[in-house]
Amino acid sequence: MAKPTYQQIDGDVALALRPPRWPYLLAVGLLGAGATTALWVWVYQVRSGMGVAGINQPVGWGVYIANFVFWVGIAHSGTLISAILHLVRSKWRTAVSRSAEAMTIFAVMTAGLFPLIHLGRVWVFYFIAPYPSERQIWPNFVSPLVWDICAISTYFTVSLIFWYVGLIPDLASLRDRYEVSHGRDHPRSRFYRFFALGWTGAGSQWWHYGRSYLFFAALATPLVISVHSVVSWDFAMSLMPGWHTTIFAPYFVAGAIHQGLGMVLVLLIPMRKLLHLERLITVDHFEAIGKTMIVTTLIVGYAYVLEPWTAWYSHDKFEWQYAVWRATGYMAPEYWSLTLLNVLVPLALLFRRVRRNLWWLFAIGALVNVGMWLERYVIVPGGTTHDYLPHNWGHYTPTWVEWTITAGAFCWFAFWFLCFAKFLPTVPTSESKAQVAGLEHDEAPRVSGLGPVVSARLATSGVVAVFAEVEPMVAALEKVAATPYRRTTDTFSPFKIDAVPRILGWPTSPVRYWTLIGALTGLTCGFALAAGSAHVNDLIVGGKPWAAWLPFCVVGFEGTILVGTLVNFTGLWIHTRLGRWKLPRGYDRRFSADKFAIIVGCPPERTAEVRALLEATKPEETYDFK
Amino acid sequence: MTSNEVEQNFTPRWPALRAAVWCVLIAVGLAVWLPTLGGDTAARAWRGLLINFLFFAPLGAGLTVWSAIVLSSQGRWSGRLENLTLAGLATAPLAVAMLIVLWIGSASWAPWATAKDLPQGFWLNPTFVFGRDLAALVIFWILAWAYARQRLAGRGKVLGGWVIFVYVIALSFVAYDLVAALDVKWYSTLWGLYFAVTGVYSGVALWALLAAFVPGVEREKLHDLGKLMVAFSLLTTYMMFSQLLPIWYANLPDEVRMPLARMNFPAWRIVSTVLLATMYLGPLALLLTIRAKRTPWLLGAVAVLVLASTWVGRWWSVAPTFSHKIEFGGPEIGITLASLGAFALALDWYRWRMKAEIPQGAAEA
Angle between helices B219-250 and B191-212 (to 10 degrees): 160
Neighbours of A436 (CB within 10 A): 16
Q: Which residues of A touch B73 (CB under 8 A)?
A: 88, 90
Nearest Cα to A498, choosing from A474, A465, A467, A466? A474
What is the pLDDT confidence band of residue B1, given thresholds at 50, 70 and 90?
Answer: very low
For residue B8, what pLDDT band results from cuts at 50, 70 and 90?
very low
CA B181 from chain centre, in angstroms, equals 19
As a whole number of angstroms, the distance between CA A240 and CA A385 comes to: 10
B313 occurs within a structural domain: yes
The residues spanned by each domain of chain A are 248-386
Strand positions, DSSP E, A250-385? none
pLDDT at B7: 45
Return the amino acid letter for A329: G
For residue A102, which of A431, A367, A418 has the smallest C-alpha distance?
A418
Beta A462-467 vs A596-601: how paired, if at all?
A: antiparallel
Contact A216, A568 (CB under 8 A): yes
pLDDT computed for residue A446 by the predictor: 53
Q: Which of A84, A235, A243, A246 to mutate to test the interface with B (most CBs of B within 10 A)?
A: A246
Nearest-5° Cα angle at A165, A163 to A169: 115
Beta-carbon count within 10 A of A386 CB: 26
CA distance A346 to A360: 10
At B198, the amino acid letter reads: T
**Closest approach of chain A CAs to the CA of B12, in angstroms?**
28
- Whether residues A543 and B187 touch (CB distance < 8 A) is answered with no
- Maximum Cα interatomic distance, chain A, rounded to a whole number of Å: 94
B118 is in which domain, residue-wise?
A: 20-348
Angle formed by the axes of helices B191-212 and B157-174, to 10°?
120
Give CA–CA dist A120/A401, Å, rounded.
13
Give the model's pLDDT for residue B362. 47
Tell if the CB–CB gap between B252 and A543 is shorter than 8 Å: no
Structure confidence at residue A440 (pLDDT): 62
Mean pLDDT of A151-168: 94
Predicted confidence (pLDDT) at residue B4 exceeds the cutoff of 70: no
The percentage of residues in chain B with a pLDDT greater than 70, rounded to a whole number, is 96
Residues near B278 by beta carbon (within 8 Å), at least 6 away in sequence: B305, B306, B308, B309, B312
Q: What pLDDT is attached to residue B215?
A: 85
Judge whether B363 lies within some domain: no
Query: Tens of pLDDT along B113-164?
Result: 888 888 888 999 999 999 999 999 999 999 999 999 999 888 888 899 999 9
Pairwise CA distance, residues A315 & A321, whole Å:
10
Ramachandran assignment for B307, one of left (phi > 0), alpha (psi -120 to 50 degrees), beta (any other): alpha
Could you tell me if residue B356 is inside a domain?
A: no
Residue B3 maps to a domain? no
Q: Identify any residues that bridge with A621 across adjacent strands, giving them in sequence order.
A: A466
Q: Which amino acid is at A384?
A: T
Percent of chain A with pLDDT over 70: 97
**Is B9 inside a domain boundary?**
no
Question: Which residues in A lie closer than 8 A to residue B242 (C-beta atoms)?
Answer: 229, 246, 248-250
Lowest mean pLDDT among A91-100, A410-419, B131-140: A91-100
| Predicted-complex ipTM score | 0.90
Higher pLDDT, A599 or A547: A599
Q: Do residues A475 and A449 lie in contact, with contact meaning Cβ atoms separated by under 8 Å?
A: no
Q: Do B119 and A315 touch (CB under 8 A)?
A: yes
DSSP secondary structure string, B48-102? HHHHHHHHHHHHHHHHHHHHHHHHHTT--TTGGGHHHHGGGGGGHHHHHHHHHHH
- B360 domain-assigned: no
DSSP for A214-275 reads HHHHHHHHHHHHHHHHHHHHHHHTS--TTT--TTHHHHHHHHHHHHHHHHHHHHHHHHHHHT
CB A172 within 8 A of CB A196: yes
Over range A491-496, report the average pLDDT. 93
Cβ atoms A622, A464 nearer than 8 A: yes
The strand pairing partners of A202, in sequence order, are A492
Distance CA B37, CA B28 (A): 15
Q: What are the pLDDT digits (tens) for B16-63?
A: 899 999 999 999 999 999 999 988 889 999 999 999 999 999 999 999
Q: What average pLDDT score do residues A464-485 get?
A: 92
Q: How many CB pairs under 8 A join A and B?
A: 88
- Which has the closest alpha carbon to A192: A170, A221, A225? A170
Whether residues B74 and A306 touch (CB distance < 8 A) is answered with no
Among the partner residues A229, A314, A551, nearest to B242 by beta-carbon distance: A229
| Closest to B327 (Cα-Cα) out of B245, B238, B267 | B267
Give the residue from B191, B225, B232, B228 showing the smallest Cα distance to B209: B225
Three-class DSSP category at B348: helix
Burial of A219 (0-12, 13-18, 19+ CB in 10 A): buried
Task: List the single residue in A with minimal CA-CA distance to B230.
Answer: A218
Residue B81 counted as domain residue: yes
Interface of A with B (CB under 8 A): 87-90, 222, 225, 229, 233, 236-239, 244-250, 294, 298, 302-303, 306-307, 310, 313-316, 443-445, 447, 508, 542-544, 550-551, 553
pLDDT, one tens digit per residue, over A4-33 is: 888 888 888 888 888 888 989 999 999 999
Contacts of B193 in chain A (CB under 8 A): 247, 250, 302
For residues A69 and A227, what is the distance between their CA atoms, to the nearest angstrom? 11
Which of A246, A234, A268 is closest to A358 using CA atoms?
A268
Rounded Cα distance between A332 and A345, Å, is 18
pLDDT tens digits for B202-220?
A: 999 999 999 998 888 888 8
| Strands laid side by side in the A489-492 sheet | A489-492, A596-601, A462-467, A621-625
d(CA A315, CA A307): 13
Q: What are phi and psi of A464, to 5 degrees?
A: -120, 135
Given a contact cutoff of 8 angstroms between Cβ atoms, the answer to whether A527 and A552 are in contact is yes
Does the beta-carbon distance from A508 to B290 stay under 8 Å? yes
Which secondary-structure segment (H or E) carries A122?
A: none
Note whether B245 contacts A294, CB cutoff 8 Å.
no
d(CA A600, CA A172): 22
pLDDT grade for A625, boundaries at 50, 70 and 90: confident
Which of chain B's residues have a Cβ under 8 Å away from the Cβ of A244?
246, 250, 252
More confident site: A297 or B359: A297
3-state secondary structure of B293: helix
Mean pLDDT of B194-209: 96
Q: Which DSSP letter does residue A131 get?
A: S
Q: Does residue B223 contact residue B291 with C-beta atoms inside 8 Å?
A: no
Residues of B in contact with A310 (CB under 8 A): 187-189
- Residue B13 within any structural domain of the chain: no
CB count in 10 Å sphere of residue B325: 11
Instruction: Tell me the pLDDT tens digit for each residue of A333-379.
Output: 999 999 999 999 999 999 999 999 999 999 999 999 999 999 999 99
Residue A424, φ and ψ in degrees, nearest 5:
-130, 155
Query: Any bridge partners for residue A490, and if so which?
Result: A599
Q: What is the nearest CA distance from B223 to chain A, expressed in angstroms?
A: 10
- Beta-carbon separation of B246 and A248 below 8 A: yes
pLDDT tens for A453-469 read 556 666 778 899 999 99
DSSP B175: I
Could B238 and A229 be called an inter-chain contact, meaning their C-beta atoms sit closer than 8 Å? yes
Mean pLDDT of chain A: 90
Tell me the residue ranges of DSSP E strands in B115-254. none
In the predicted model, is pLDDT for residue A247 greater than 80?
Answer: yes
